[in-house]
Amino acid sequence: MALDRATVANIAKLARIKVPDGELDGLADELSNILGWIEQLNEVDIAGVEPMTSVVAVDLPARRDVVTDGGFAEKIVANAPETFEHYFVVPKVIE
């Protein structure tokens, strides 16, 4: 997949990265090469390969899912400037 100058400029804008006009062509070539490498991964036959969580087969130790601490909601929000039903109240932020 080849990226052109306009596409790279749009990607930079969406990522809020300032890229000088003189670097757009070089960056387009680099990103196109990276996407080419990623496309090569589609050629790998992964039929019958189980998903892995680690490169080494290990069984992770399991622990019981029990509450070992808690019930301190009053203490946790005690120093908060404003609370509501054991929750911190924060100002609404919208861009």
Report pLDDT digits (tens) over 32-63: 999 999 999 999 999 998 888 888 888 878 98
Number of domains in the chain: 1
Report yes or no on 57 lying in a domain: no
Interatomic CA distance for residues 40 and 8, integer angstroms: 21
Report yes or no on 52 lying in a domain: no
Report yes or no on 53 lying in a domain: no
- 8 exposure class (CB count in 10 Å sphere: 0-12, 13-18, 19+): buried
Report yes or no on 30 lying in a domain: yes
**DSSP alpha helix (H) spans, 3-93:** 5-14, 24-40, 73-76
Report yes or no on 72 lying in a domain: no
For residue 50, the model assigns a pLDDT of 86
**Owning domain of residue 10:** 5-43
Report yes or no on 48 lying in a domain: no
For residue 30, the model assigns a pLDDT of 95
Q: What is the pTM of this model?
A: 0.51
Mean pLDDT of 59-74: 84
66 pLDDT more than 90? no
Report yes or no on 16 lying in a domain: yes
For residue 4, the model assigns a pLDDT of 92
Q: Is the dihedral of CA 67, 68, 72, 76 positive or negative?
A: negative
